[in-house]
Amino acid sequence: MSLLDALKWRYAVKRMNGNKIPEATLNTILEATKLAPSSFGLTPYNIIVIEDEETRKKLQPHFYNQPQVGESSALVIFATWNSITEKEVAEYMQEIAEERGVPVESLKDFAGYINGSIKNLSPEQLQIWAAKQTYIALGFTLVAAASEEIDATPMEGFIPDAVDEALGLKELGLHSAVAVTLGYRDAANDYLSGAKKVRRATEKLIIKK
Return contacts of 87-96, CB within 8 angstroms, 24+ apart: 88/42, 88/44, 89/42, 89/114, 89/115, 89/118, 92/40, 92/41, 92/42, 96/41
Distance between CA 108 and CA 60 in Å, rounded? Answer: 45
pLDDT confidence of residue 152: 98
Among residues 185, 101, 105, the alpha carbon closest in space to that of 150 is found at 185
pLDDT confidence of residue 28: 98
Mean pLDDT of 91-97: 98
Task: Give per-residue pLDDT as tens, 22-79.
Answer: 999 999 999 999 999 999 999 999 999 999 999 999 999 999 999 999 999 999 999 9
Full set of structural domains in the chain with CATH? 3-186 (3.40.109.10)
pLDDT confidence of residue 11: 97
Q: Which residues of 165-185 are buried (b: 16+ CB within 10 A; e: fewer)?
A: eebebeeeebbbbbbbbbbbb
Task: Give per-residue pLDDT as tens, 108-158.
Answer: 999 999 999 999 999 999 999 999 999 999 999 999 999 999 999 999 999
Mean pLDDT of 11-16: 97
Among residues 147, 13, 135, 156, the alpha carbon closest in space to that of 72 is found at 13
Return contacts of 136-139, CB within 8 angstroms, 24+ apart: 136/36, 136/37, 136/38, 137/33, 137/36, 137/38, 137/43, 137/45, 137/47, 137/78, 138/78, 138/178, 138/180, 139/36
pLDDT confidence of residue 189: 96
* Strand spans (E) along 41-159: 45-50, 74-81, 151-155
Beta bridge partners of 178: 78
Beta bridge partners of 81: 174
pTM comes to 0.95
Mean pLDDT of 103-107: 98
